[in-house]
Amino acid sequence: MLNNFMKIALNEAKKTKIDIPICALIVKNNEIISIKTNAREKLNQTFAHAEMLAIKEANEKLNSWRLDDCDIYVTLEPCPMCAWAIINARIKNIYFGSWDLKYGAFGGVINLAKLANSKINIKGGILEQEANEILKNYFEKLRNEK
C-alpha cells in the first residue's frame, strides 16, 4: 500500500502546472480522504503548500482538527511550517519521497518531531528516484524558460 499511495501522489504532482510539483495525500483506514498539490502561485497564498491544503480538507471532511488515525504521504519532505502542522494535527505516520536537504523538517535538515517529543512515525525515501526526477525536471524547465 505504501508504494501505491506514493505513486498516486507522484502522478498528481506531475499534473501541477505553475507551482512546484509537490503532492500530499491523507489516508484514513486505507482510503484517501484528501489529496492536494502545491497552490501558492495559483492561489497567491503563502501557506498554500500541498500539506497545509490537504490537512485543511481532511479537518473539514472529518469535522475534527485531530487526524490521529491518519497517515500523510508527501512527494517531498515537509518544510518546518508543514511539519509543525502535521505534528499538531496528530497524524500517525508521515511517508515522503524526496529528502529536502535545504528545508526538510523530518530529518533532512532538522527533525521537528524530536523537538516536539512527537510519536509520529517517519519514513522518507519512498520512490525517491522518481520523486527527485519530477522536481529536477520542473526546475530544469523553469531555468530554460528564463
146 residues of the chain, pLDDT tens digit each: 779 999 999 999 999 989 999 999 999 999 999 999 999 999 999 999 999 999 999 999 999 999 999 999 999 999 999 999 999 999 999 999 999 999 999 999 999 999 998 999 999 999 999 999 999 999 988 888 76
The catalytic position among 12, 31, 51, 130 is 51
Cα–Cα distance measured from residue 69 to residue 66, given in angstroms and rounded to the nearest whole number: 8
Give dist(CA 58, CA 63) in Å, integer.
8
| Cα separation, 105 vs 64, whole angstroms | 25
51 is catalytic: yes
Global pTM value? 0.95
CB atoms inside a 10 Å sphere around CB 112 = 21
Residue 72 grid coordinates: 500523510
Q: Tell me if 107 sits within 8 A of 59, measured CB to CB.
A: no
